[in-house]
Amino acid sequence: MVETHAADVHPPYLYADYRSTRLRAPVQPLVRIAPSPLETTVPSFPKQFVKESEADLTTWGKSAPLGEKMVLVGRVLDDSGRPVRRSLVELWQANASGKYPHPVDDHDAPHDPNFMGKGQVLTDDEGRYRFVTIKPGAYPWQNHAFAWRPAHIHLSLFGNAYAQRLITQMFFPGDPLCAIDPIFNSVPTAGRKLLVADLDLQHGIEGVALGYRFDIVLRGTRATPMGL
């Protein structure tokens, strides 16, 4: 069978520098098997699932959230370069102080009553998405001494097939914390730049918000059943 493989730039399950992987990473190899008919489809999200207002995280509260306003644009493509259309993209993040609205987050930083940090959109027919948000703050964590997560935005995608389901994190260009972040560094060197957004001023809002671009590539669906 002829198969063209893009370089595998996903992180391994076990990456000892990221402590939480040590007891959670499966050890047994994955069993390769053809997707079931169910797994070649995705759930359909009803119209009401996504409200237009959910693309703008800065209008959730009674007034504007604190922080540096930004626009995030990008395209979702499959690994052959085809747009992934009408598919759900969810975004969540910390506020400008690096604090999540979560009871387990014990970082001594303030909540922002005007920022929930959650948005969602459907991609358009060209696979494009656009969010307006604020730049999240970096925050300390317990992984090792002086550990700080670089500012990052979580993205969750459904794609157009179950096998395309992906959760990833987007980082900011030039952030010195990336180089010392084991979660970022769990990705093979060749893949790390794929997690870093580009500054894209033209897609910002003049005088209001910086623009960033983050394109996302989802794996294709296998035309030929693999393995078993």
Which 157-176 positions form the footprint of another protein (CB under 8 A)? 162-163, 165-169
Is there a catalytic annotation at residue 10? no
Catalytic residue among 18, 100, 129, 212: 100
Q: What is the DSSP string of 121-168?
A: EE--TTSEEEEEEEPPPPEE-SSSTT-EEPPEEEEEE-TTSGGG-EEE
Name which of 179 and 208 has its Cβ closer to another protein.
179
> What's the CA angle centered on 117, arms 154 and 130, to 5 degrees?
65
Is there a catalytic annotation at residue 129? no
- Taking CB under 8 A as the rule, does residue 43 contact another protein? yes
Terminal CA-CA length for the chain = 13
- What's the rounded Cα separation, in Å, for the pair 164 and 217? 9
Q: Specify burial of residue 228 (Cβ count, 10 A radius: 0-12, 13-18, 19+).
A: exposed
Name which of 198 and 208 has its Cβ closer to another protein.
198
Is there a catalytic annotation at residue 19? no
Which 85-124 positions form the footprint of another protein (CB under 8 A)? 90, 92, 94, 100-102, 104-105, 116-118
Instruction: In angstroms, give the least distance from the CB of 207 to another protein.
Output: 29
Work out which of 7, 63, 125, 189 binds another protein, going by CB under 8 A. 7
Instruction: In angstroms, give the least distance from the CB of 205 to another protein.
Output: 24
Total site size for another protein, rule CB under 8 A? 79
Which 55-74 positions form the footprint of another protein (CB under 8 A)? none
DSSP label of 191 = H
Is there a catalytic annotation at residue 149? yes
Name 98's bridge partners. none
Instruction: In angstroms, give the least distance from the CB of 121 to another protein.
Output: 15
Instruction: In angstroms, give the least distance from the CB of 206 to another protein.
Output: 29
Q: What is the DSSP string of 144-157?
A: STT-EEPPEEEEEE
Token duo for residue 153? 């935005």
Catalytic residue among 18, 75, 129, 152: 152
Q: Specify burial of residue 129 (Cβ count, 10 A radius: 0-12, 13-18, 19+).
A: buried
Give the per-residue contact string, 131-160, with another protein (x = CB under 8 A; - = no): -----------------------x-x----
Positions marked active-site: 100, 139, 149, 152, 154
